[in-house]
């Protein structure tokens, strides 16, 4: 909880060691005032509240997501943004169907699960087959080819609670790659333990991918509690048989799109500052922390700049479409805006808890910008990281062209308790931490959008 900003500043100052004083002489105090005004922001909360109340879940390619785009257009116009528009593209759409599972023997009982995005379907009356248990993805990889014929693979993982969310990268392989590997080894279906740090019965949705030429098999995530229960059954030593029913389907191409809005700058040649989050969500919750909050935070920060005079650079806010099933909105944006000069690209897609660190991939020549960012962010408890910014799914295609990135890293300790679950609702958002995010983004935008230095396109520093 961010209740006491000066305490946070003291804490941050005591844990970092770099010479900030000299650079702070060039830091404009007006930026500090704008940042602190953002600590009282209401816009981000209003966007999250509005999207989750008036639209709800926004699955990729769905009518709800289309409604959300219209909602976004109206909202952004009412806030005073310019050039508000939807940039459309076509999306090959996967749609969830029925989903249920139960242990048939030796301990009959129902299990809670959800189909993974891109999952294949079982026959209409389901499958009843024995399971083969793998403690982790590497155990599945080691299974002999053909050994899973007529079986349901059951893959667990050891998801850890980490500030930077790094365990999602390593343990998430069970979801992202497990189904493809199981299919190649002949499995009839796969269930995994949800990629999550909770111990509840709400499964964590998420996408999986099958290589070209591999026929998708039914693939689902059990809730963490149900997966743990199933593991206990396996350890009792008797063969375990499951009945599994999943009826998702592909429905072909549908129109989707990115919602785009701008704060026009005074110097078009200085490049666009691209920020945003993703408008789509999984369908079990209402997509509050993933990612109505990112949309709300970045929009609220841009609104602070909009209301404080014309920035040098145009700030472009994008509510990206279809991040969840493959980053299609980000890819469509990069394609539509190829060749247009961008100074910076940054996204917010890690919940609504406070920003604790920032990182960039700016070259040494942009050191004054990074020093001013440090001066602007330290007072709200944000430290300068030693790593390199790598963006996220939505801005990755833009960063890949050589545009510089800035990451405002959020505290991920409780993110994977709720990520992609039925509990991803506004109820888990702490408004004070949400506001601290808006303040951090406002400070970042005020520094970057008005920097007199040239920023990008430039060599990305490794």
Interface positions with Zn ion (CB under 5 A): 290-291, 349
Identity of the residue, 271 or 294, whose beta carbon is nearer to Zn ion in the bound complex:
294
Question: Least separation, in Å, of the C-beta of 44 and Zn ion?
Answer: 16
41 contacts: CB under 8 Å, gap ≥ 6 = 300, 304, 434, 435, 438, 439
Q: Is the bond leading into 439 cis (omega within 30 degrees of zero)?
A: no
Q: Is the bond leading into 317 cis (omega within 30 degrees of zero)?
A: no
Identity of the residue, 151 or 204, whose beta carbon is nearer to Zn ion in the bound complex:
204
Distance from C-alpha of 157 to C-alpha of 175, rounded to nearest angstrom: 10
Question: Least separation, in Å, of the C-beta of 283 and Zn ion?
Answer: 11
Question: Least separation, in Å, of the C-beta of 447 and Zn ion?
Answer: 25
Identity of the residue, 210 or 418, whose beta carbon is nearer to Zn ion in the bound complex:
418
Question: Least separation, in Å, of the C-beta of 206 and Zn ion?
Answer: 7
Question: Least separation, in Å, of the C-beta of 278 and Zn ion?
Answer: 5
Give CA separation, 344 vs 210, 324, 369, 430, in Å: 33, 23, 12, 28
357 contacts: CB under 8 Å, gap ≥ 6 = 382, 383, 384, 385, 409
Question: Least separation, in Å, of the C-beta of 393 and Zn ion?
Answer: 7
Identity of the residue, 103 or 288, whose beta carbon is nearer to Zn ion in the bound complex:
288
Give CA separation, 385 vs 35, 358, 373, 376, in Å: 20, 6, 12, 14
Sequence-ordered alpha helix ranges (H) in 327-393? 328-336, 367-377
Question: Least separation, in Å, of the C-beta of 132 and Zn ion?
Answer: 29
Question: Least separation, in Å, of the C-beta of 197 and Zn ion?
Answer: 15
Identity of the residue, 329 or 379, whose beta carbon is nearer to Zn ion in the bound complex:
329
Rounded to the nearest 10°, the torsion over CA 433, 434, 440, 446 is -150
Identity of the residue, 348 or 360, whose beta carbon is nearer to Zn ion in the bound complex:
348
Question: Least separation, in Å, of the C-beta of 24 and Zn ion?
Answer: 34
According to DSSP, the residues that pair with 100 across neighbouring strands are 245
Identity of the residue, 99 or 322, whose beta carbon is nearer to Zn ion in the bound complex:
322
Sequence-ordered alpha helix ranges (H) in 99-253? 137-141, 166-171, 173-176, 178-184, 224-235
Identity of the residue, 291 or 407, whose beta carbon is nearer to Zn ion in the bound complex:
291
According to DSSP, the residues that pair with 115 across neighbouring strands are 220
- Please spell the DSSP secondary structure of 376-394, one letter per residue: HHGGGT-EEPSS-----TT
Identity of the residue, 136 or 294, whose beta carbon is nearer to Zn ion in the bound complex:
294
Question: Least separation, in Å, of the C-beta of 245 and Zn ion?
Answer: 25
- Residue written as tokens 């004083």? 21
Distance from C-alpha of 457 to C-alpha of 421, rounded to nearest angstrom: 39
Are the C-beta atoms of 320 and 276 separated by less than 8 Å?
yes
- Residue written as tokens 């050191």? 367
Identity of the residue, 41 or 290, whose beta carbon is nearer to Zn ion in the bound complex:
290
């Amino acid at each position: 909880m961010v209740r006491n900003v000066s305490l946070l500043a003291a804490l941050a100052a005591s844990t970092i060691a770099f010479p900030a004083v000299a650079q702070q002489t060039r830091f404009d105090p007006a930026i500090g005032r704008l940042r602190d005004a953002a600590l009282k922001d209401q816009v981000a909360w209003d966007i999250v509240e509005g999207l989750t109340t008036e639209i709800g879940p926004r699955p990729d390619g769905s009518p709800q997501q289309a409604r959300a785009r219209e909602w976004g257009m109206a909202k952004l116009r009412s806030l005073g943004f310019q050039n508000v528009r939807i940039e459309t593209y076509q999306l090959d759409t996967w749609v969830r169907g029925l989903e249920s599972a139960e242990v048939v023997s030796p301990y009959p009982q129902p299990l809670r699960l959800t189909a993974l995005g891109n999952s294949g379907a079982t026959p209409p009356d389901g499958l009843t087959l024995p399971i083969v248990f793998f403690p982790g993805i590497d155990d599945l990889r080691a299974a002999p080819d053909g050994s899973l014929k007529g079986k349901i693979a059951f893959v667990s993982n050891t998801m850890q609670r980490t500030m930077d969310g790094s365990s999602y990268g390593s343990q998430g392989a069970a979801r992202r790659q497990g189904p493809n590997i199981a299919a190649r080894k002949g499995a009839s279906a796969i269930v995994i333990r949800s990629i999550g740090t909770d111990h509840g019965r709400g499964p964590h949705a998420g996408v999986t991918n099958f290589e070209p030429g591999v026929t998708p098999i039914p693939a689902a995530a059990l809730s963490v509690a149900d997966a743990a229960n199933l593991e206990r059954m396996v350890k009792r030593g008797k063969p375990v048989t499951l009945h599994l029913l999943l009826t998702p389907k592909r429905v072909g191409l549908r129109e989707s799109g990115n919602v785009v809005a701008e704060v026009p700058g005074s110097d078009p040649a200085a490049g666009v500052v691209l920020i945003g989050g993703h408008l789509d969500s999984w369908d079990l919750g209402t997509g509050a922390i993933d990612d109505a909050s990112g949309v709300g935070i970045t929009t609220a920060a841009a609104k602070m700049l909009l209301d404080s005079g014309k920035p040098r650079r145009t700030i472009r806010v994008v509510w990206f479409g279809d991040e969840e099933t493959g980053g299609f909105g980000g890819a469509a944006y990069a394609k539509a805006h190829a060749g247009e000069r961008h100074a910076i690209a940054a996204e917010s897609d890690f919940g609504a808890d406070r920003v604790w660190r920032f990182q960039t991939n700016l070259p040494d020549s942009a050191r004054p910008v990074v020093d001013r960012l440090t001066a602007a962010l330290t007072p709200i408890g944000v430290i300068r990281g030693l790593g390199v910014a790598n963006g996220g799914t939505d801005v990755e295609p833009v960063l890949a062209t050589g545009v510089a990135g800035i990451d405002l890293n959020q505290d991920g300790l409780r993110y994977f308790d709720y990520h992609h679950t039925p509990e991803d609702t506004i109820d888990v958002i702490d408004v004070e931490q949400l506001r601290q995010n808006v303040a951090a983004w406002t400070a970042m935008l005020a520094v970057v959008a008005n920097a007199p230095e040239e920023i990008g396109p430039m060599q990305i520093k490794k």
